[in-house]
Amino acid sequence: MNLVKRIMSKADVVIENFRPGTMAKLGISTEVLVKENPRLIVCSISGFGQTGPMSQEPAYDSVIQALSGLMSVTGFPDGIPTRVGTSIGDLSAGLFAYAAITTALYAREKTGKGTTIDISMLDGLFSLMEHGLMDSLALKINPERIGNRHPSITPFDAFTCKDRLIVICCGNDVLFSHLCDNLGLKDLPKDERFVTNAFRNENQQALKDLLEVPLKTDTAASWREKLEKAGIPVGLVLSVEEAENLEQIRFRNMVEHSGDKEVPGNPIKFGAYSSEISPLVPPKLDAEGPGIRKEFSE
């Protein structure tokens, strides 16, 4: 533990994700660390945060998705609440930690002071509930599952084509009119059920059924090309394998090589710094340990 303390005394940032209280039991509580090293930034990431009645409960991503309300609004109305297809509770906590740490580092440049940071997976995912959360808080309306469509904009959904699904997003009347023109439904914007977004939202299923009639006569790729030329936001529903081979993904170096493996690239592109990841094979567990221990034992 003395070695750990020596390492921390020379560090800029310490990140830990033990259950709250574990660091104190180890004799290195976050508050004491910052007190002993005033410039140190200590970021604690946990399921429920360092305080509150649930702080000691164990947490996994699926538990957090369930408790945040996210699962309740994911899926279709006639289906069960559904987990998002990635560990978004874990990932969002990491992103909030990154934002907090960079903010704290900037503040330290101004004040010379470090700080503790308390990141909760539940806090993070709850805050990302966006319009559903605002409906619940401000309007006291409990959001429900609505599938792939947007809660307040129509048409804004995944539609069935001849071979696969395509996502079409018309955020205003002009785009809706262009969509109808390209689908051979020129009179549809004049239909009293669809003349405004509010009416389209009220009659979204009827509108979807009408739009899918021409869409089902051709492939999704063909419709994508036509609608994209018309300036309509559109995209195929790709598999992960298809997405990783998308020309835009490859052009942006979002698939890179590390050692002998393909790995995800860096989504943050700096103008003045390289965003490329290291091409070296990552070291095995404790491969660098002896050198690090020697460095801080002297």
Paired strand residues for 169: 156
DSSP helix/strand/coil, 247: helix
Q: Do domains 2-132 and 156-237 have the same CATH topology?
A: no
pLDDT for 225 = 98
Instruction: Assess whether 131 carries a catalytic annotation.
Output: no
Distances (CA, A) of 24 to 3, 9, 48, 52, 112: 16, 17, 17, 17, 25
pTM of the model: 0.91
Q: Which of 131, 150, 178, 257 is catalytic?
A: 150
Residue 120 burial (CB count, 10 A): 25
Cβ atoms of 170 and 180 closer than 8 Å: no
Classify residue 96 as exposed, middle or buried by CB count within 10 Å of its CB (0-12, 13-18, 19+): buried
Token pair recorded at residue 102: 């960079």
Q: How many Å apart are CA 146 and CA 139, to the nearest integer?
A: 18
**How many C-beta neighbours within 10 Å does residue 210 have?**
19
List the chain pLDDT tens, one digit each, 298 residues. Answer: 788 888 998 999 999 999 999 999 999 999 999 999 999 999 999 999 999 999 999 999 999 999 999 999 999 999 999 999 999 999 999 999 999 999 999 999 999 999 999 999 999 999 999 888 888 988 898 999 999 999 999 999 999 999 999 999 999 999 999 999 999 999 999 999 999 999 999 999 999 999 999 999 999 999 999 999 999 999 999 999 999 999 999 999 999 988 788 999 999 999 999 998 887 787 899 999 999 889 888 6
Neighbouring residues of 197: CB distance < 8 A, sequence distance ≥ 6: 152, 153, 154, 172, 173, 176
Quick check: 119 and 51 in contact, CB under 8 A?
A: no
Sheet arrangement for strand 115-120: 13-16, 41-46, 115-120
Query: Domain boundaries in the chain?
Result: 2-132, 156-237, 247-297
**Cα 144 to Cα 74, 77, 107, distances in angstroms:** 8, 7, 41
Residue 298: predicted pLDDT: 67
Q: What is the pLDDT of residue 134?
A: 85
Residue 10 contacts residue 296 (beta carbons within 8 Å): yes
Instruction: Answer whether the bond into residue 264 is a cis peptide, omega within 30°.
Output: no
Tokens representing 137 are: 């808080």
* CATH code, residues 2-132: 3.40.50.10540
Per CATH, which fold does 156-237 belong to? formyl-coa transferase, domain 3 (3.30.1540)
- The owner of tokens 């059924």 is 209
